[in-house]
Structure 1
Amino acid sequence: MSWLEAEDCRQVLQLQKEDGRCHLIKLLKWEDFDEEKDLKPGIILDYLYNTIIFAAEKGFPWPSVAVAVCFSEELLYETEGKTMQEALRNLRDKCEEYQHKLNPNYLQHLVNHLMGTFFKHYRLYQFVLCEDRVIDQTVYDLVVQIPHEAPSLKDGVSAELWKYQKQITELSEAEDQLRAGMVAFRETMQLKSEQELEKFYEDLKFQDKEVIERANLEKIIKAAHEIQMSVASELLQKEIETAFQILDLKIQKTTISLPATKSLQSPVTKETKTGRKGKKK
């Protein structure tokens, strides 16, 4: 059970409903809960919140409002799992217990309130309090696509010019990607060459001050040279392929025709100028 003070009830009443319910959760020292997944704490919270609202609207002093909340909460839990007749007997005993804590008029108003709310839906409250709820819930995360901010009308262009600019931009981006890919490939091949040469030298395993014959030295140099040439050949082939791809993109740019711009001069202006020339003649 959670005892509320008179000041607590006053604070709840001063807030809007949702804010008041949230504040009441803090006052009751409950943990946060999801009302969609767990109905029980949400219904109990509404039950206590409505008691505060009812008592305050009936003119209960704030200490009496707190006592009314305590009465309602105790009744709720003490009647859990009981029949209607047992619950009514429990209500009678509760009234006798609180006859010296609450003014008789206020107690009568509270009983009438509980008869019209709690006992009117008694079986529903019992179902919520006593039955475990099996949750079968599927959650979908929906991504909301926010529309792009519309540009100013003064920056607008014709559809043909927009398509032309879009094609040129796409070709330029593809060209930049090829260049960036070539830079990354050069770095990869450089690292590969260094690693292969390092492994090759480690495999030789020369002894200190060992004299190497000329024939063996030539074989070592030739092998190291072949490693470097293999990497260089692969790099050169890639550079040639990339160069042709970039050249193809540049050619595509030249084949796209720029839309003809329309004259900004209006027909009215042309007619006026023609008319003036006629007058001069």
Structure 2
Amino acid sequence: MAALTTSGAMAVASLPKNEGRQKLAVLLGWKPFDEEKELQQDIHLDYLYEVLTFAAEKGFPWGQVAHVVKLAESLLQNIKAGTLTESIEFYKDKSSELADTLGERNYKIFTDFIFNIILPHFKLYKYALTKDRTFNCPNIIMEVRPMDPPAPLKEAKALKVWEYERQVQQIEKKVAERTKERLNKKSEIVEQSDKKINQSLKNVDSMAGKPVTKEVLQEIMNDVIGSYSEAFRERIQADIAEVQEDLEFKLEMTSLPRPQVLGPPPRYSLKQKSPVTQQKPDKDQKSPKESQSRGSSRSSKKK
């Protein structure tokens, strides 16, 4: 790791945290790394940056800031490799030299920082920097579809109509999925049935040319008949289940409250009644008024 210079410490402290951390990594000669995947490097860098900013905020001269960062790096390596007692002994050995470099005031401030902030978290630093992290980041391919452009306002629908159509589409989707599942299941049933039947027929063929007793013949016949019967039973059960599911889907569809604006459902569509044609009287048929007037005239003539 490269040594931090006075100008480098000034440059890091003058930047915001994210930019300052990146600048510090460059000045220390670190290669670029992924903060999420290389968590130990990220903790290491954050530790050095906190030491640097602490010294700068406490008014340490920039030369002293660079010096305490170097000492903090050595202390961290000792934490990774040794025990808490060894880390304390290491700092004690550096105390006389550090006191001469920092002076009484800054030495006391930095020592309090080490013993109150860093060393109380000794186990945490040691565990995080020595135990490899199990990285579990699933890679999932997702299809991103942009939203459909909005329809013209004149094609807008009432909320109840839209909700009804959406529910109908959901039911139709379930019907299509279930139909596909049933077809696959039927194919499996047919395949398994054919295997059993073919095996029974092979058993019959294997007996060709051999003397067969009545009991053996009866067993062979029961095997063949049983294979056909089981295949027929499975197909009947599948057909019954299909009818039941179809009825359930139809019941679910008919139970949806249909908006009145859509009119009656297609299954109950009302046929338009043809207009009743008024029957015209025959020419030869006399109207009641004509027959009544003629009858009155005849009666007057008789008088």
**TM-score, with length taken from structure 2:** 0.49
Aligned residues: 223
Partner of 1:233: 233
The CA deviation at 1:14 is 7.3
1:124 matched to 2:92: no
Alignment deviations for residues 45-99 of structure 1 (CA, whole Å, 9 cap, x no partner): 4114555x57999676xxx97567446766998x9536xxx96x96554466xxx
Query: What is the CA RMSD across the aligned residues, in angstroms?
Result: 5.3
Which structure 2 residues correspond to residues 108-257 of structure 1 after superposition, within 5 A? 110-111=102-103, 114-115=106-107, 117-121=109-113, 123-125=115-117, 127-128=119-120, 131-133=122-124, 152=150, 154=153, 157-201=157-201, 203=203, 206=206, 210=209, 220=220, 223-250=223-250, 253-254=253-254, 256=256
Alignment deviations for residues 195-245 of structure 1 (CA, whole Å, 9 cap, x no partner): 3234435555827x7357798889756743541242123213321331343
Query: CA–CA distance in 2 between the matches of 1:218 and 1:75?
Result: 91
Q: Is the 8 A contact 1:178 1:246 kept in 2?
A: no
Query: CA–CA distance in 1 between the matches of 2:60 and 2:75?
Result: 21
Q: Is the 8 A contact 2:9 2:66 kept in 1?
A: yes
Which amino acid is 1:237 matched to? Answer: Q
Alignment deviations for residues 129-171 of structure 1 (CA, whole Å, 9 cap, x no partner): 7x53599xxxxxxxxxxxxx89959476433223422332233
Which consecutive unaligned segments of at least 5 residues does structure 2 have?
32-37, 79-85, 128-146, 263-303
What SS does structure 1 have at the residue aligned with 2:206? coil
What SS does structure 1 have at the residue aligned with 2:238? helix
- The 3 A distance-change label for structure 1 pair 156 and 80 is farther
- The 3 A distance-change label for structure 1 pair 197 and 113 is farther
Partner of 1:33: 40
Q: Is the 8 A contact 1:48 1:69 kept in 2?
A: yes
1:259 matched to 2:259: yes
Q: Is the 8 A contact 1:75 1:90 kept in 2?
A: no
Query: CA–CA distance in 1 between the matches of 2:17 and 2:98?
Result: 29
Higher relative contact order (CA 8 A, sep 6+): 1
Which consecutive unaligned segments of at least 5 residues does structure 1 have?
97-106, 136-148, 263-281
Which amino acid is 1:231 matched to? Answer: A
Q: Is the 8 A contact 2:52 2:69 kept in 1?
A: yes
The CA deviation at 1:178 is 3.4
Query: CA–CA distance in 1 between the matches of 2:253 and 2:232?
Result: 31
- The 3 A distance-change label for structure 1 pair 95 and 253 is closer
1:47 matched to 2:51: yes
Q: Which has the larger radius of gyration?
A: 2
Partner of 1:21: 21
Query: CA–CA distance in 2 between the matches of 1:156 and 1:226?
Result: 61
- The 3 A distance-change label for structure 1 pair 245 and 42 is closer
Alignment deviations for residues 11-69 of structure 1 (CA, whole Å, 9 cap, x no partner): 7467542233255357376974398xx8x985454114555x57999676xxx975674
